[in-house]
Amino acid sequence: MLDQVTKVHDENRQGEAYAPEAADIQTYTKKFYIESYGCQMNFNDSEIVASILKEEGFGPTRNVEEASLVLLNTCSIREKAETTVRKRLTEFQKVKQRNPELLVGVLGCMAERLKAKLLEEEKLVDMVVGPDAYRTLPALIEEAETGQKAVNVLLSREETYDDISPVRLDSNGVTAFVSIMRGCNNMCSFCVVPFTRGRERSRDYRSILQEATDLFQRGYREVTLLGQNVDSYYWVNPVNDAETVTFANLMEKVAQISPLLRVRFSTSHPKDITDEVLHVMAKYENICNYIHLPVQSGSNRILQLMNRTYTREWYMKKVDRIREILPDCGISTDVITGFCTETEEDHQDTMEVMAYSRYDLAYMFFYSERPGTLAARRYQDDVPDDVKKRRLAEVVELHRGQSLASMQQDVGKTFKVLVEGTSKRSEDQLFGRTGHNKVIVFPKENYKKCDYVWVKVDSCTSGTLIGTATGMA
C-alpha cells in the first residue's frame, strides 16, 4: 500500500522499544522486550499486551539481552515497516543463538498475513499472535516453551479488551492513548486493515470512562481516543438496546470528567464525521480543535477506485463545514500519490484540493501495492516509481509552504499550552502543544510537566512555534 513515507510532524512512531513507568519497576523473574511499528493503535495494543504479561509475572525491559521473551508488534500498512521487522527478526536470531531459551514472537497486522512464512519457511519466530488473540498469550508462551510453534491469528467480532487496563509503557505521564473501538468496516481498496484487524466493534463506553478517569487521577492531563475510524463508534447496551452511545456522546462524557483533562481523537473518516461531533467540540474548551481528515486523493476517479465513498466536492464542503463551526480548527490529512492509473490530471486535482484545504499537518506517501488488498486483486500498479516520487515531491513542496504559512499566522497570538516535558534541544526549554496540535517551545522558568501555561508566540519555523510564557492558565 503505502511506502517511502514523507512526514511533516508525524505522530506515528516506528520501532520503539518500551520500558516501564518508574512506579511499575520491580523485580521480575521473567522479562519481555517489545518493539512496536506503525500506527498509534499498535502502540496501544503493546500496552494491552504488557498488562497481560504482567499478570503472568513478566516485566518489561529495554535490554534485549536480559529478556526471555521478545515481541515485535507489526504493521502491514507500509512495505518499509515489514522490511524493517524482517531485519529485526534476523538480528534477534543472533541473540537467540547466544540464548537458546529465548522466545521470539510476532504480534499484530503481519501475523495473519505472513504466519506460514515466518513460522515454517523462514523459521524466524516461535510464536505468531494476531491482534484479537492477545488474551491467549500465556497459553501460547507455554506451548512455545515446549519447542512447538505457537499460533493464534483468529479474528473476533466481539474482542475489545475493554476489561484490561493497559500498562503505560515508556509514558511521559502527561498524555495517553485510549482505544475506543477495534477493526474497520471501510473497505478502502488500498488498505489491509479490515483483513488484519477484522470487523468494526465498539468498546463499552463505561470502561472507556473508567480508564480515562483513572488516567486523570494518576496525573495525566490528556487522552487521545483511538480507533481506525472513531466517528463510527456506536455502542449498544447488550441488555437494553434502547441505550446507545455515539462518538459525539462519548467524547462529551470524557470531556466532562474534568475541565483539566484535554481530549483529542484519531482518526476520522470524512464520510462519517458529523455536525454533532463538531458542535460538541465547540461546546467544550478542553476538547482540542484539531481533526485528522484523510483525503488520500483529490481526483474523483481515483477516489472511486480507492472506494473512499465521497467526491472532492463533498470533501471540500466538509472542510468548509468544519471551519464554519470551528473557525480556528487545525486540520491534517493523508495523501497518496501514484495510485493505480493516476494521471497528471488526477495529480493536479489532488494539488488543487490541498491548496483549497490549507492543511496544518500532512502525512504524505507514494503508493506501493500491499498483498491481500482489493487494489492488489483488481488493479495494476502501473504508475512508474519515478513518476510517483516526482508527484510526491510536488505534494510535499506545496504542503511545506502551507505549513509555514499556518505557523506564521500564529505569531503574535497567545495559546493555552499543556506542558509535556523538556525540549530535546535544550534543558532550559519546555515543550507542549496547542489545542490545534502545534508544537511550541518556550523558556522553562518555574513551569513543569502537566502545567497549563499561556504562551505568546514570538516566532516560528515550518514545524515549531517559539514563544514566551505569560503565566499559568
Q: What is the mean pLDDT of the chain?
A: 90
Tens of pLDDT, residue by residue over 10-45, are: 333 445 555 444 344 456 789 999 998 878 888 899
- pLDDT band of residue 397 (cuts 50, 70, 90) is very high
Check whether the bond before 311 is cis (ω within 30° of 0): no
Cβ count within 10 A of residue 84:
18
Task: Flag whether pLDDT at 6 surpasses 50.
Answer: no
DSSP 8-state assignment for residue 69: E
Over range 382-395, report the average pLDDT.
98
Tens of pLDDT, residue by residue over 439-457, are: 999 999 999 999 999 999 9
Over range 382-388, report the average pLDDT.
97
Bridge partners of 201? 182
CA distance 222 to 95: 38
Task: Flag whether pLDDT at 242 surpasses 60.
Answer: yes
Higher pLDDT, 78 or 125: 125
Over range 384-392, report the average pLDDT.
97
Percent of the chain at pLDDT > 90 equals: 76
| pLDDT of the residue at 465 | 97
Over range 219-241, report the average pLDDT.
95
Reduce the DSSP state of residue 376 to 3 states and report it: helix
The x, y and z cell numbers of residue 17, run together, are 522499544
Over range 171-198, report the average pLDDT.
92
DSSP 8-state assignment for residue 203: P
User: In 3D, which of 123, 445, 61 has the Cα closest to residue 106?
Assistant: 123
